[in-house]
Structure formats: structure tokens, C-alpha cells
Structure 1
């Protein structure tokens, strides 16, 4: 006797949106904190922002935008029952996630190598606003990087399910929710990039 598997797609999607809302509250709190300290230390934030690598920040922005496009293409491909195309698009998204993390690691390593990190003698000897800026920078980009890592792992799991045929035109909630999470990761970076890298 066979039993039909019940799947609550609406509930799964609602659950993901609620989860994303809590994530937005988390990063929103960090952005509000940034705004408060920017108002207090505008000159120091401007000086500190110019010490970040705009080229690497721009490269990571382009990488994440590309990755979001690929994630959206993967969803469209599955809806058209083109599993192979979806698998390749997800593979591209995962590669972009890896590139983003490699660049972020290189950027952090360079900054730490130059003595720019929370509690460093270099920052302690300077204006307090610069220490606050880099404290927020490491906290925010570190938390975002963790989300990129989690998103990459999640999409790798989804890609495997696509390859195995368990995600298809009739059942793609895993992919849809994974793509939603990835778009949030991209959206958060769209706020981080101008706040930290484009300080005037």
C-alpha cells in the first residue's frame, strides 16, 4: 500500500520568509549601530573607510550579483524541467560563493598584516572613531561571510538533490528557499559595500 507524501509548500515558504525577516533584523541592527557611530565620528569613519580596498570590495560586489543571477536562473530552469541547466547554474553560484570568501580572506589577511584589527596597537594609538569603524567592519563582514559559507553549503545540498532528480518542476521548494536565502546574502552585501567601501 503506497502513501502519498504530504508537503506543505506554503508553510515551507512562509517559514523561510519568517527566517529571512529575523536575519534582516539582525543585520538591520548592525546598520543602525553603524549609523549611530557614523553620526558621532563622521571624519574618523571617512578616514577609516579609505583604508579599505575598493577594488576587492567592488570585485566581491560583482561576484555576488552574478551569483544571484545564477541562482535565479537555476530556479527558472527547474520550473522548465531543465535539471542539467539548473545544476550548472547552482554550480556557478557555489563557485561565486567560494571566490567571494577567498577575496574576503585575502582582504582580511592584508588588513591584519598591517596591524588593522580590533584591539591592535595601531588602532589604539589613533582616533577612537577608527577603532569603532573597524570593529563594526570585522563584525559585520565576518557575520556576512559566515552567511555566505552557510549559503554555499545549502546550495551544494540543493544541487545534489537536483542532480539526483529529487528537485524538479513538480517539487522545487528546496531550491526556491535556497535561492531566497542567497538573495538575502546578496542584498545584505549591497548595503555593506557602500556603507564601508564608499565612504566620502
Structure 2
């Protein structure tokens, strides 16, 4: 309500939450809702994969033989390791070990970049082979009806995931820099925890993509 002089009082930011614990709970709820929307996005892609696999079972069983299982598995190791590192970083920041937390976030960033670099090398190989999506498909080693459909799904699913990894790396870089400046620590670390949740989501999604596209 306005004061006697007609001006409005200055209300502290997020005052309606009452205390820091309530603000943290609200932030986590918001992140869980965001994660749910991301899960819905990938659920659509996984559903498309399942439907086409039911339609072309033989094709989808033969296709992984033309994938680079080594690079896919290496990327799985890299991403799982990065998720562990992020969890350790969040724990370090919560305990007030800001420098250690920032260092771990930096390591996670490097692992994220390594993942994208390996994926780029794999994409380059597919381009050279002609294993491109849709009408651009020209992969002679797997020139069977419907093969372009499999690789179209592969490019779309892994491409969307790679974009999420790139966003995640950007988030981790921001968190690392803000931790180094002392903005995050034992007293306030909610953004670091939320960033960690996003990165774990990226990791979990890849753990579904890896067996579907490379192993089965």
C-alpha cells in the first residue's frame, strides 16, 4: 500500500517467500517443472524412435553395426564422469569450499567440451560417408530401404541433445565464474544446485540415447 506521502514502500526481492528456505524450495520446484518439459520433448523423440523401430525391426537391428560404438561409448564415459564431477562441485560449494567447487566446475566444462568435440568428430565421419539425414542420405555401405530414416532420427536426437550439452556448458561456465567471485558459497548456492540438476538431466538423456543408437 502507498505511504502517507504517496510513494510506495521498497519491497525486498522475493519478499513474498518469507525466508531463504522458501525461496530455495520455490527455485527447485521451478527447475523440476522445467526438467519435466525437457523430458516431454525427448519423450516425443523416443516415441518416434519406438514407432519406427516397430515398423522396421530388421533395419533398426542392423543399423547400429554402422555406428562408431567406440566413440559413442567414450562419450558415455566422458559425460558420466562430468556428472560425477558436477555433483562434487555442488557439494564443495555447499560446504564453503568455493575454490574447489569452481575448479570442479571448470573440469566439468572441459569434459563437456570433450563430449562435443568427440561428437563433432563422429558427425564429420558421417558426413564423409554420406550418412546424412533425409534426402541427402548417400551412405553406400548401408544402402537399404529406410536406412535414411534411421540416420535422420540419429541426427535429430543426438543434435537436440548436443544443443542441450552446449547450453549446459555455458551454464557451468557462468556458475564457475560467479563462484570464483564469491557470489556463491555456503550461505547461497541455489543456482549451483539448479545448474547441477540440468547437467544431470543431460547425462541421463544420453544414457538412453547411447544404447538405443549404438548397442541395440
CA contact (8 A) 2:35 2:201 kept: yes
State whether structure 2 residue 47 is matched by structure 1 residue 47.
no
Q: How far does residue 42 in structure 1 lie from its aligned partner after superposition?
A: 1.2
> How many Å separate the matches in 2 of 1:133 and 1:121?
10
The number of residues matched between the two structures is 198
Larger C-alpha radius of gyration, 1 or 2? 2
State whether structure 2 residue 208 is matched by structure 1 residue 161.
no
State whether structure 2 residue 118 is matched by structure 1 residue 109.
no
| 3-state SS, counterpart of residue 50 of structure 1 | helix
**Ranges in structure 1 where 5+ consecutive residues have no aligned partner:** none
> How many Å separate the matches in 2 of 1:46 and 1:129?
12
| 3-state SS, counterpart of residue 130 of structure 2 | coil
TM-score (structure 2 length as normaliser):
0.87
Identify which of 144, 147, 152 aligns with 1:127.
144
CA contact (8 A) 2:86 2:104 kept: yes
> How many Å separate the matches in 1 of 2:61 and 2:136?
19
Identify which of 34, 37, 48 aligns with 1:19.
34
Evaluate the alpha carbon distance shift between residue 5 and residue 82 of structure 1 in structure 2; reply closer, same or farther with a 3 A threshold: farther
| 3-state SS, counterpart of residue 128 of structure 1 | coil
Structure 2 match to 1:71: 86
Structure 2 match to 1:171: 188
Structure 2 match to 1:91: 106
Evaluate the alpha carbon distance shift between residue 5 and residue 170 of structure 1 in structure 2; reply closer, same or farther with a 3 A threshold: farther
CA contact (8 A) 1:67 1:96 kept: yes
TM-score (structure 1 length as normaliser):
0.94
RMSD: 1.8
| 3-state SS, counterpart of residue 183 of structure 2 | coil
**Ranges in structure 2 where 5+ consecutive residues have no aligned partner:** 1-9, 15-19
